[in-house]
Structure 1
Amino acid sequence: MTTNPIDFIHTLDAAAIPAPVLAQAKLSLRDLIGVAVGGSATRLAGIIRDHAAEDMPGTMPILFDGRGSTAAGAALSAGMVIDSLDGHDGFNPSKGHIGCPLLPAMLALAHGDCTGADFLQTLVMGYEFGARAAIAQHGSVPDYHTSGSWGAVTGAAAGARLRKLDPGQTRHALGIAEYHGPRSQMMRVIDHPTMLKDGSGWGALCAVQAVQMAARGFTGAPAITVEEAPQVWGDLGRRWYMLEQYYKPYPVCRWAQAPVEAILSLRRAHGLAPEDVARIEVETFHEAVRLATNRPRTTEEAQYSTSFPCALAMVHGDVTPAALMDTALDDPRVLRLSEGLEMVESAHANGPFPLKRLARVRLHLVDGRVLQSGWTEPRWDHDAPPTPDELHAKFTALAAPLGQTRAQAIADVIDTLETRPLDDLRTLLARPI
């Protein structure tokens, strides 16, 4: 198989994709759609759907809305709706998320006659391309940029394939997307959480426009991360990064999920009630310590927090979307533990980051005892992945607002997508919730 990334975009086919890789792509596709349903209830989602429909009017269906927008507007909206609930799959080496900018660009750029098989093969290509684009970019700049930055190049690669651009046009699409992609500062939004999130929607919009411009003859090559980082691209078709994605059991930043697991483990092992705990101490890596909001006023602040999800885990034994929104943010039992939580940066946890996200928790009990966990990692990493049944249960819970019949229809279509037209899925995704 070719290791030339531009050739790979257009030549990867079903015969070259191992069966486990294709199966994993379906799991990620379903997971992204489930997160989109869950995210549709956020205020962010309502604002961005209205923006796409009213300020960028067109005929491309807006995800779970019923109205239309331009292709770029639909991609922007879908990317931000998925990103509005921080529960989608991710990639440890890049500290980011491939699928969130990729899938919206694909849905916006796939022609009406696109087959499900073509779409799935493009999705696999996109994950493989996106993993390497992310590694290349992070290796070339000191700043930590959002997923939308390299996600723009990734979405453009997928769009170039779906729109059947020639190799020259593809080079320019990648270059346009790299140049105009949102090099947004991730740690700024960690320190000051807002609806900007991970830049994925803007990356998807940029990808769509880059493909459309390149198809008209606009020039922008080269994409430096693609053409000047050969060490990153040499294992295409041999190492399948599709199998190295993590999934999230909880819809909060991945950096907060290790201490959540540690708290849940101690809670179960000792039969604790929240009233038994005087305060919580979390020892973890620098970036997780930066998730410092302990009294969130918005769901964005709650999702980009370490202390609030930890307090939720202690009070409720879980971290659910409903607990991160609206009046749930004012729960005095949760706020007591969140506001009193102490964060300690650890060299032991800093060392293996970002490939591993470690945390250790100490629960200081009201009776004077101190319970300490071991060093804990988040659940559902690629080397200890969730079972298909666990991911299906996650999808079922998130997709409940669709109703059981429609949610099951989406799952069934994805399971057999290689035998169907893509429109079988798009029709189910276009109707409002």
Structure 2
Amino acid sequence: MTTLTQTLADFTVQTRFEDLPQPVVHEAKRLLLDTIGCALGAIDTPSGQIALDYVNMLGGTPDASVIGSSKRSSATAAAYANARLANVLDADDTFPTSTHFGNATVFSALALAELDACDGRDLLGAIAVGFDVGARIGSWMGAPMQIENGKVIGWNELGGPAATITWAAIGASADIARLNGAQANHAFGIGGSNSPQPTLRKWAESVEQPMYKYADAGWCAEIGVSSALLGRLGSTGFKDILDGENAFWKFYGSPNHDDGALLAGLGTDWQILNTTYKPWPCCRWIHHPLTAFGRLLEQHALRPDDITRVVVRANPFALTPIFREQHPRDLLSAEFSHAHALAARAFDVPPGPRWYETATMNDPHIAAFRERVSVTAEPSSSNIAEWMTGGQWRGVPGGVDIHARGTVFSATADHATGDPWTAATHFTDEQIRRKFGVMVGLDANGNGPETLQQAARDVADVVMSLESLPVDRLAVALNALCQSMRAVGVEA
């Protein structure tokens, strides 16, 4: 039986831009702009430089753009570098299966769009479709913990975000490569069989993070591109990789699966509309306490010197040692530190690359503030299973208690800024543009050198009108922006 595999494969290759509702098209543009910004912001990081040096060392035919490089490379190499860059700052969008896959969705599709000289409509369609595939695989496999009678009874021994990142890339790549149903079926088998190892448990226990965290988004994107190209050339894979007792969910370590969640509303319920955007470059689980923290700072005009102590109330995912670390030693570890995130927010450090620059990490005022932050459990999210629907979280409370001016200011956020399910937290187009500006070197208000402002606007304008443009217009605008970043002293 290949019912699940073939049904999802057929959806992937048969869906076209004309099938997308307008809100889905608009969200694909927003995701594209946000993801490009996250990649641009990571160019001058150690991990970003390694990705660029690695791709430069590989060489390859100049078929696709590499963010931050004046040289083009092969589709697989470009997908690798760009997707890895997009995940370096942990500022990229997060789907409520607790994973990021906008990075690989966008950059696997963009690499193949450039290879095949596609239109912007093709790229936007592939982003929407690929995102849907990744989201559905994540929802199908469910949470990375064991749940019995509605209660969490333990963590999975295996599992992790790499699965959904890879599947999103496979879906996007199969769509934009214009595979037929049989070729897509084989591409699914090829990509699913070669997904990275599930390392979530190892990540959770590690205070010092490797540069790729729990999965290298670049490799996941490269797997998607390679799977589609191999399928197009006639290579074969397991045609039933999503079906039967030995399906992907089982050998990837999930204790159960929900076939209904995989296919429910296929082609009508577009999962890209459920993604969350990050106003701050850190783990999404920190955003709920950060949202509450920011509200209190603004409501009571609290300044860092007013604050003697902050108690973070975190959900069960954000209580492991890495989240409690007060003095993270590197960028990747700092992305999971409640203390560092609250310190950067308290001192109004622009929420982008500057959060992790050496000057910020070593600032004595930042360090002193981190010392005053402790982490405990948020009682209302202690049973995280209560906050799940169809394998997804739509709100997991987190909060803070700020000790200042002789009193305690407390707040809890069920939804974090950037969540699409409430009007108060929805990330507007203007917020996405402003975040993009910070990532490329402008300040939080969009101010900076006029040439850089104009180049950033040009990229955003191209993305927002991409359905009427060829993809190479985006490549040209991106190259001009990188040149402008170099000219004003932002490494690119």
Mark yes or no: TM-score above 0.5.
yes
Kept after mapping to 2: 8 A contact 1:49/1:77: yes
Alpha carbons of structure 1 residues 66 and 144: separation in structure 2 relative to 1, 3 Å:
farther
Question: Counterpart amino acid of 1:222?
Answer: K
What's 1:195 paired with?
211
Kept after mapping to 2: 8 A contact 1:59/1:69: yes
Q: Deviations over 1:325-344 (max 9, x none)?
A: 22210112221221332111
Matched, 1:357 2:396: yes
CA distance in 1 between partners of 2:75 and 2:15 (Å): 25
1:48 aligns with one of 45, 48, 51: 51
1:247 aligns with one of 272, 277, 285: 277
Alpha carbons of structure 1 residues 202 and 421: separation in structure 2 relative to 1, 3 Å:
same
The structural deviation recorded for 1:79 is 0.8
CA distance in 2 between partners of 1:242 and 1:409 (Å): 25
Matched, 1:265 2:282: no
CA distance in 2 between partners of 1:319 and 1:223 (Å): 44
Give SS of 2:324's match.
Answer: coil
1:383 aligns with one of 397, 421, 424: 421
State how 1:85-100 maps to structure 2 within 5 Å: 85-92=89-96, 94-100=97-103
Alpha carbons of structure 1 residues 161 and 375: separation in structure 2 relative to 1, 3 Å:
closer
Q: Deviations over 1:289-322 (max 9, x none)?
A: 2223221222111112112101222233764430
What's 2:179 paired with?
165
The structural deviation recorded for 1:214 is 2.3
What's 1:413 paired with?
462
The structural deviation recorded for 1:132 is 0.4
What's 2:22 paired with?
19
State how 1:99-118 maps to structure 2 within 5 Å: 99-110=102-113, 111-118=115-122
The structural deviation recorded for 1:165 is 2.0
CA distance in 1 between partners of 2:411 and 2:435 (Å): 26
What's 1:280 paired with?
310
Number of residue pairs matched?
430
Matched, 1:344 2:344: no
Unaligned runs of 5+ in 2: 146-155, 248-257, 443-450, 483-491
Q: Deviations over 1:184-209 (max 9, x none)?
A: 42353353322113431110011122
Q: Deviations over 1:84-111 (max 9, x none)?
A: 121111211x101221111111122223
State how 1:47-196 maps to structure 2 within 5 Å: 47-60=50-63, 61-92=65-96, 94-110=97-113, 111-138=115-142, 142-143=156-157, 145-190=159-204, 191=206, 192-196=208-212
Kept after mapping to 1: 8 A contact 2:350/2:438: no
Higher helix share: 1
Kept after mapping to 2: 8 A contact 1:102/1:204: yes
What's 1:217 paired with?
234
CA distance in 2 between partners of 1:71 and 1:265 (Å): 44
Question: Counterpart amino acid of 2:241?
Answer: I
The structural deviation recorded for 1:376 is 4.7
The structural deviation recorded for 1:56 is 4.6
CA distance in 1 between partners of 2:351 and 2:429 (Å): 20
Give SS of 1:423's match.
Answer: helix
The structural deviation recorded for 1:55 is 3.1
What's 2:347 paired with?
315
Question: Counterpart amino acid of 1:79?
Answer: A
Question: Counterpart amino acid of 2:419?
Answer: D
CA distance in 2 between partners of 1:169 and 1:50 (Å): 33
CA distance in 2 between partners of 1:83 and 1:375 (Å): 25
The structural deviation recorded for 1:63 is 1.9
Matched, 1:426 2:489: no
CA distance in 1 between partners of 2:460 and 2:349 (Å): 28
Q: Percent identity?
A: 25
Question: Counterpart amino acid of 2:439?
Answer: L
Give SS of 2:459's match.
Answer: helix
Moved more, 144-153 or 250-259: 144-153
Alpha carbons of structure 1 residues 247 and 170: separation in structure 2 relative to 1, 3 Å:
same
Question: Counterpart amino acid of 2:395?
Answer: K
What's 1:28 paired with?
31
CA RMSD of aligned residues (A): 2.4
CA distance in 1 between partners of 2:12 and 2:171 (Å): 6
CA distance in 2 between partners of 1:59 and 1:124 (Å): 26
Give SS of 1:281's match.
Answer: strand
